[in-house]
Amino acid sequence: MLQQPFVLRDRRKAKVDFWFEEQRVVGEFEGKGKYLRADGGAGLSIQQRVMKEKAREDQIRAQGVGFVRWEWDEMMNRQQFIHLLRRAGLPRK
């Protein structure tokens, strides 16, 4: 499922990129630009952006959910991507 919302402790909703409900695993497709872009941080430093994302992930994980993250290079290498998803507990169908 795409863009599955999770409710965080402060009642805000956080949408994840991919939700594999049967395996209870979140998949997040990340690019370095999310953290490194000068215009993408809403005034936050790189460290603050990373810590904010870590807190978000920790709150989602606390709901009994696993996480797997990948970047472009990993996704573009089919065997590496399959291995990454399988290590996260996702079956090959």
When pLDDT is averaged across residues 27-56 and rounded to a whole number, the result is 78
Q: Which of 17-21, 31-35, 44-48, 49-53 has the lowest mean pLDDT?
A: 31-35
Both tokens of 18, joined, read 């991919």
d(CA 48, CA 25): 25
Are the CB atoms for 14 and 56 separated by under 8 Å?
A: yes
| Paired residues of 29 in beta bridges | 70
d(CA 29, CA 8): 20
Q: What is the mean pLDDT of residues 38-64?
A: 84
The tens digit of pLDDT for each residue in 1-30 reads 899 999 999 899 999 999 999 999 999 997
Q: d(Cα 45, Cα 15) in Å, to the nearest integer?
A: 22
pLDDT for position 63: 95
pLDDT of 32 reads 66
User: For position 49, what pLDDT does the model report?
Assistant: 84
